[in-house]
Amino acid sequence: MALDLSSFDTDMLAGTHGEAAAFCMRLLTRFAEAVGAKEFIDIEAAHIDGCLYLGQVSLDFVEHLVRHKGRVRVPTTLNVGSVDLIHPELFIGAPEIGTGGARLMKAHEELGCLSTFTCAPYQTMFRPRFGAQIAWAESNAIVFANSVIGARTNRYGDFIDLCCAMTGRAPLYGLHLAENRRAQVLVEIESLPEEWEDAGPSCVAVGHTIGKRCGSLVPAIVGLPQNTQEDDLKALGAVAASSGAVALFHAVGLTPEAPTIDAAFQGEPAVETIRLTADDLRRTVRNLSTVPDGTPLTGVSFGTPHFSLTEFTRLMPLMTGEKPVVDIYINTNRGVLEQLAVRGWDRILDAAGVTLVIDTCTYLTAIMRDMSGAIMTNSGKMAYYAPGNIGVDIAFGSLADCMASARAGRVVRL
C-alpha cells in the first residue's frame, strides 16, 4: 500500500518549502498510511480546531511551527479558543489556561490563520461551496459541511487539520470520494410530537439517536418536521457528532445530496432501517435533562454551536417583556456580533441581562459565573457534554421553554 506522492509533496518532505511544511508533511504522510489513503489531493480551505487549550501539547505543537516560520497555504478559519479575546474579563478559569489559551489563539494567527474563532465557520463568509474538497476539524463543523453544504471533508482532528492547512493537501480517502458518501441506514420518522411547534427538539432527538445507533455509517433521514431550517440541521448534526461519530447525514428533500431516497442511497439498498415514533423522540429529549422540571436554574445558555443571526432573529421577539431572573449566555462569533450592533440588538440583549460570549463557548471554558444550580439550554450538544466538561446539571428545552424558564427562575415547559 505505497503512497503515491506528487513532486510537490516530495519537495515539501525534502524541506524545499521550509521545515514547518516538512514537519507537517511528515505527519500527514504517516497519517495517510494509517487511514489507508493512496495519494493526496489539493484542498480549497481548512478549518482548525487547535485553538482550544487542552494542555501544554496544544501550545508545543503550534509554537514548533511558528518557530520554523510556518505559514498556511489555503484560506484557514479557526475554531473557538479557550478565552473570549473581545471580552477577556469574562474568563474566570485557571490562569495558565487563560494565558496559554490566549497565546495559542495568537500563535495560530501568526501562521496566517483567520481570526474567526467560531465553531460555525459555515455561517460566515468563509462558507465553502458545494462539492469543495476541504480539510475541516470540529465535529459539528464537519457534519454540517458534508451534510448541509455538500462540501467534502473527513473527520480531521487536532494537528492533522493544521498539517493539511500548512501543506494545502489532504489524503484522498473516506468522504472525499463520492462513493463513500452514499447513505447506508434509513431513518424513518413515523410520527412527531404534536405539542412541539419548534423543529429544534425533534431534530436534536433524531440527531442524538443516529449518533447512538448509526456508528460511523451514513444515515438518510425521512420525515423531519416541515418547518426544519438550517439551524435545526446544525443542531441535529452537532448532537449526532457528540453522541456518535456521524460525519455525514442526508435529510431527504432537505440536504443537497439527497433530493430523493434513491439519490441518497445512490441506488443501493439500506443495510438497516431505524423507525422512530413521537414517543421515542419525547423519551430521548427527556433523557437529555439531568434534572426534573421545576428545578431552580442559575443560568440559560444558547449558541452551542455558535448562534447565527437567524437564531437571534428568532430570539429577539422573546426578549421583550419581563426581565429574566437568571443569567443568560449566548455564544456567537465576531461576524454576528457586528450584525447585532448594526441592528441595535446588542443593547436590547444587554438590557435584558444577556452576556454575549464571543470567540469561545460556555460548555468548554470557565465563563458562567454561577453554576450552583442547573443550566438550561436548547442545544443537544451542550446538554451532552456540559455535565462532564464543566460539572453542571442540565435541563434541555426549546428556545421558548428556555426563555420562559429564565423568567421563572426554574425549569418550566410551555
Distance CA 65, CA 68 (A): 5
Our finding on whether 198 is near another protein (CB under 8 A) is: no
Distance CA 298, CA 320 (A): 20
Which of 50, 81, 380, 397 touches another protein (CB under 8 A)?
Answer: 50
Which of 57, 94, 325, 351 touches another protein (CB under 8 A)?
Answer: 57
Q: How far is the CB of 136 from another protein (least distance, A)?
A: 9
- Residue 330 is inside which H or E element, if any? strand 327-332
Give the footprint of another protein on residues 223-252 (CB under 8 A): 241-245
342, amino acid identity: V
Say which residues have a Cβ less than 8 Å from residue 149's Cβ, sequence separation at least 6. 122, 127, 128, 129, 130, 256
Distance CA 295, CA 405 (A): 10
- Taking the least distance from each CB to another protein, the nearer of 128 and 324 is 128
Our finding on whether 52 is near another protein (CB under 8 A) is: yes
Our finding on whether 64 is near another protein (CB under 8 A) is: yes
**For another protein, what does the binding mask look like between residues 378 and 407, x meaning CB under 8 A?**
------xx-xxx------------------
Q: Which of 240, 225, 220, 232 has the alpha carbon at shortest distance from 191?
A: 225
Which of 3, 27, 254, 261 touches another protein (CB under 8 A)?
Answer: 27
Our finding on whether 15 is near another protein (CB under 8 A) is: no
Q: How far is the CB of 112 from another protein (least distance, A)?
A: 21
- Taking the least distance from each CB to another protein, the nearer of 53 and 345 is 53
Distances (CA, A) of 311 to 3, 272, 307: 45, 34, 6
Which of 13, 20, 25, 31 touches another protein (CB under 8 A)?
Answer: 31
In angstroms, the first-to-last Cα distance of the chain is 59
Distance CA 175, CA 247 (A): 9
Distance CA 274, CA 284 (A): 15
C-beta neighbour count of 31 within 10 angstroms: 18
Distance CA 246, CA 371 (A): 31
> How many chain residues bind another protein (CB under 8 A)?
41
Specify the DSSP class assigned to residue 36: T
- Taking the least distance from each CB to another protein, the nearer of 249 and 384 is 384
Give the footprint of another protein on residues 118-137 (CB under 8 A): 137
Stretch that binds another protein, among 45-53, 331-339, 348-356, 397-405 (CB under 8 A): 45-53
Our finding on whether 359 is near another protein (CB under 8 A) is: no
Binding site for another protein (CB under 8 A): 27, 30-31, 34-36, 49-50, 52, 54-58, 60-61, 64, 137-139, 142, 154-161, 215-216, 241-245, 384-385, 387-389
